[in-house]
Structure 1
Amino acid sequence: MIKRLLLGLLLFASFEAFAQNKLSENAEMSLITVAPGDELYSGFGHSALWVEDKSKGLSVVFNYGTFDFETPGFYMKFVRGKLDYMLSAGSLSYLVNSAKAEKRTVIQQKLNLSLTQKNEIYNFLLNNIKPENRFYQYDFFFDNCSTRFRDLLEDVLGNGLVWERDAEGLTFREYLDIYLANKPWQDFGIDLVLGQPTDEIADKRNEMFLPDLLMLHFDEATYNGNPIVEDKIIIYEAEEEEAKLGFQILPEYITWFLCLFGIFLSVRHHKSNLSDVWFNRLLFVISGLVGCLIFFLWFLSDHVATVNNWNIIWAFPLNVILAFILFKKPAKKWHTVFYAIFGIAQFMILGFFYTLPQAMHAAVLPIVLYFAFKSFNLLYRTKKMNV
């Protein structure tokens, strides 16, 4: 959940710089939660684990979910879901200063653990941060900076750890919508590429993929009947910024404009022979390119959440090619067959738009509406194209 190796966070030059055999009785272990930031890469927050042992002069923050921009083929590996993320370690002051610069609140939860449990967790992290162990296959929902600490505590505490807080009952996509409420275009793009798995309801464990939810579950968690959090401290509280009021161009404004403009062109074509071919070709090319991306993420990447994407019904990858084959005179028989099949598919999406197994973004509705209208409009017009 971090764009780079935690900007401003010190990476220790050597593993031995902070490796200690055992923690002392005075050692403290805390879950650190950094609030969401304004940028997309920081928009979901961040989790870290702080180990402090003043008697040994030890203070180190462990962070999962960090990566290196210098990785060869970085962007292609990122898109394909093959980018290696790593466990890194550094100073709390650098993490806090970075959060202050981005106006993000930092909260500490001191964990009520025995010395044995603290040492087990600490030794696991020391072993995990070794060069041969520190890299892992990141997954935004199921294996990120938050879920790693959830899993670690579950492994160490076993059945004695009970997550008492009930799940919110929201899907993964609904959680993303909440966090992306002020980023409508990013929300639109993410909605387009995430498939049906994103619409599964997240249970109490799975909703901890969000640092905020992990923190809330730790607040109410117990170990053998005792609270797992013994103290909660706000290390830095960012001032709340007033919501910026003003007109914002939303994706659905653009798609409704395109839909109505396309219908207008079709009506004008019927009355004055004003050609709308260029407009239809443009929409087909754009939808086809979106479809190619959906196909790539579905079949050629390791991302779990991008499979079974129903948007491929309207964002058909072959539209990129069909844009330059269709809309010609004389119309061929297969043109008619395509318009009929494509149009029926769009009408089916319209009829079940709000009951599909996958929730589609509101901006998709006018696109599907136009494609449905245009398919049957062209189906009618092909009868005259050969005249």
Structure 2
Amino acid sequence: MKIIMSLLLCLFSLNGIAQYNTNLSESAEISLITVSPGNDLHSNFGHSAVWILDKERNLSIVYNYGIFDFDTPGFYMKFTRGKLDYRLGAGSINYLVNSANAENRSVFQQKLNLSYKQKKAIYAYLVNNIQPENRYYKYDFFYDNCSTRIRDLLEDVLGEGLVWEKEAEGYTFREFLDIYLENKPWQDFGIDLALGQPTDDLADKRNEMFLPDLLMMHFDEATYNDKPIVEDKIILYEAEKNEDAASFQILPEYITWFLCLFGIFLSVRHHKSKLSDVWFNRLLFIITGLVGCLIFFLWFLSDHVATVNNWNIIWAFPLNLFLAFLLFKKPAKKWHTVFYAVFGIAQFMVLGFFYTLPQAMHAAVLPIVLYFAFKSFNLLYRTKKMNT
């Protein structure tokens, strides 16, 4: 989760952290810190961190697995291809809370009920992880992020005695994202287009901990040797409630339904008055072709696990970008009619199974597929009848 745009400004370097004595005092506390989701793109899903507090040793460090460097050469290409290195960083609890305060995001602390030996083991684990040769890892939104790393840390240190008692919510990864993006329809639409069939897998109790909120909830009910792992839960900062009335939003499906109906209108007018709809079809093919190129790139040329097997490529066909300039010409060639027939059948199949496909498609996709199905057979009819 990309939490870090604001936190990067407040984190301090601890390159010499190996100098710390990992033998904490017996009064040391280890806590899970959860920052609630924010309103900005980078804070949609919240954040998790581990806080080590040892007042006797005058030690207070927040460990955070969500750091990356904007100055990395080829940053955007590496991010898109899933090859961007994230790293473990360390900072101050005051900076974290103040940053959350500025963004009106709640901060929760769960003090963990651990033995002295376990506290030392966790601290030693983190000190080892933050060494230059160990601190970097390949980030994965669902399976390897700031929350799952903390889950794995506790499982590694505590072993089989740690039991996640809370049952899974029973949602797919995509359904979880939909919940968090409910009030951000365009972000939801974009993410739905980019993510493929693996996003519709059911998340079990471990996998749903990719979300900081869910990690916190599982910690609330987790036990170690039949005793609660959380001994105390404290609100370090409580966000103010936003009571602003919900404003009207232009949803993606409003736009796509308008385009669908407008395209059908142009087709009817073409039939009655010979008003050309070529420019509209070419523009739609160019747009969907660009979307298709992005889908193809994320599927075949990136390391992202969740972007493969993306069924949106059936309508967002990468070659549409080039076909926009090769189709819709007079006289129509034989391969034009073959394409219209194959493309139209594919769109009708998507329409027929729209709500039962292995991959859930966004509601805004339906009008686009409907128009492509209509237009393919409309053009097929035209070329067969009078080659116009």
With the length of structure 2 as denominator, give the TM-score of the two structures.
Answer: 0.98
| Code of the aligned partner of 2:93 | L
| Equivalent residue, structure 1, for 2:7 | 6
Q: Which amino acid aligns with 1:379?
A: L
Q: Decide whether the 8 Å contact of 1:28 with 1:111 is kept in 2.
A: yes
The alpha carbon displacement at 1:139 in A equals: 0.3
Per the TM alignment, residue 3 of structure 1 is displaced from its structure 2 partner at its CA by 3.9
Summarize deviations over 1:245-294 as a string: whole Å, max 9, x none. Answer: 22210000000000000000000000000000000000000000000000
Map 1:92-107 onto structure 2 (within 5 A): 92-107=93-108
Q: Is the 8 A contact 2:181 2:187 kept in 1?
A: yes
Deviation of residue 18 (structure 1)? 6.7
Residues of 2 paired with 1:265 and 1:167: CA distance?
A: 49
**Ranges in structure 2 where 5+ consecutive residues have no aligned partner:** none
Mapped partners of 1:264, 1:150: distance in 2: 55
Partner of 1:194: 195
What SS class does the counterpart of residue 359 from structure 1 fall into? coil
SS at match of 1:337: helix
SS in 2 for 1:52: strand
Using the TM superposition, give the Cα deviation of residue 58 of structure 1 relative to its aligned residue in structure 2, in angstroms: 0.2
Assess, with a 3 A threshold, how the Cα gap between structure 1 residues 166 and 345 changes in structure 2: closer, same or farther: same
1:11, distance to aligned residue in structure 2 (A): 1.7
SS, match of residue 190 in structure 1: helix
Matched-pair contact (CA < 8 Å) for 2:112–2:229: yes
SS at match of 2:306: coil
Q: TM-score w.r.t. structure 1 length?
A: 0.98
Measured at CA, do residues 243 and 167 of structure 1 come closer, stay the same or move farther in structure 2, by a change above 3 Å? Answer: farther
Q: CA deviation at 1:73?
A: 0.6
Return the offset for 1:385. 4.3
1:296-335 superposed Cα distances (whole Å, 9 cap, x missing partner): 0000000000000000000000000000000000111111
State the distance in 1 between where 2:320 and 2:253 align: 22
Instruction: Quote the residue 1:152 is aligned against.
Output: 153
Aligned partners of 2:121, 2:385: CA distance in 1, in Å? 78
Shift of the 243–352 alpha-carbon distance from structure 1 to 2, 3 Å rule, reads farther
Identity across matched positions, percent: 79
User: SS where residue 301 of structure 1 aligns?
Assistant: coil
Checking the alignment, whether the CA contact within 8 Å between 2:314 and 2:347 is kept in structure 1 is yes
What amino acid is the match of 2:35?
Answer: V
Counterpart-to-counterpart distance in 1, 2:236 and 2:135: 28
Any idea what SS the aligned residue of 2:303 has? coil
Matches within 5 A, 1:57-76: 57-76=58-77
State how far apart, in whole Å, the 1-side matches of 2:387 and 2:28 are: 84
Cα RMSD for the two superposed structures: 1.1
User: Deviations for 1:331-377, whole angstroms, at most 9, x for unmatched residues?
Assistant: 11111110000000000000000000000000000000000000000
2:143 aligned partner:
142
- The match for 1:179 is 180
Map of 1:354 onto structure 2: 355
Residues 385/324 of structure 1: CA separation in 2 closer, same or farther (3 Å cut): farther
The one-letter code sitting in structure 1 at the alignment partner of 2:309 is N
Q: Is the 8 A contact 2:8 2:67 kept in 1?
A: no
User: Counterparts of 1:211 and 1:4 in 2: how far apart (Å)?
Assistant: 17
Distance in 2 between residues matched to 1:292 and 1:385, nearest whole Å: 34
Q: Which residue of 2 aligns with 1:343?
A: 344
- What SS class does the counterpart of residue 371 from structure 2 fall into? helix
Aligned to 1:204: 205
Distance 2:82 2:386 in 1: 47
- Report if the CA contact (8 A) 1:185-1:250 is conserved: yes
- Give the equivalent residue in structure 2 for 1:223: 224
SS in 1 for 2:331: coil
Q: What is the deviation of 1:20? A: 2.0
Distance 1:65 1:13 in 2: 15
Separation of aligned partners in 2, 1:102 and 1:385: 63
Q: Partner amino acid for 2:172?
A: T
Q: 1:292 maps to which residue?
A: 293
User: How far apart, CA to CA, are the structure 2 residues paired with 1:376 and 1:25?
Assistant: 76
CA distance in 2, matches of 1:103, 1:245: 18
The answer to whether 1:241 aligns with 2:242 is yes
Matches of 2:212 and 2:245, distance apart in 1: 25
Q: Are residues 269 and 87 of structure 1, via their aligned partners in 2, closer, same or farther at CA, if it must alter by over 3 Å? A: same
Residues 306-321 of structure 1: matches in 2 within 5 Å?
306-321=307-322
Partner of 2:43: 42
Alpha-carbon distance in structure 1 between the residues aligned to 2:19 and 2:264: 67
Higher mean alpha-carbon deviation, 65-74 vs 361-370, is at 65-74
> Secondary structure, in 3 states, of the residue corresponding to 1:323?
helix
Instruction: Report the residue type matching 1:327 in the other structure.
Output: F
SS in 1 for 2:7: coil
Distance in 1, matches of 2:279 and 2:38, equals 41
> What is the alpha-carbon distance in structure 2 between the residues aligned to residue 18 and residue 385 of structure 1?
83
Shift of 1:17: 7.9
Distance 1:304 1:243 in 2: 38
Q: Which residue of 2 aligns with 1:281?
A: 282
Question: Using a 3 Å threshold, how does the CA distance of structure 1 residues 141 and 133 change in structure 2: closer, same or farther?
Answer: same
Deviation at 1:5, TM superposition (A): 7.1
Q: Which runs of 4+ in 1 moved over 6 A?
A: none
Contact 2:340/2:380 (<8 A) preserved = yes
Contact residue 68 and residue 86 of structure 2 kept, 8 A: yes
Gaps of 5+ in 1: none
Moved more, 8-17 or 315-324: 8-17
Which stretch has the larger CA shift, 63-72 or 376-385?
Answer: 376-385
2:169 is aligned with 1:168? yes
How far does residue 242 in structure 1 lie from its aligned partner after superposition?
1.3
Change (3 A) 1:222 1:314: same
- For residue 184 of structure 1, report the CA deviation from its aligned partner: 0.4
- Of residues 375-384 and 312-321 in structure 1, the stretch that sits farther from structure 2 once superposed is 375-384
For residues 293 and 248 of structure 1, what CA distance do their matches in structure 2 show?
Answer: 26
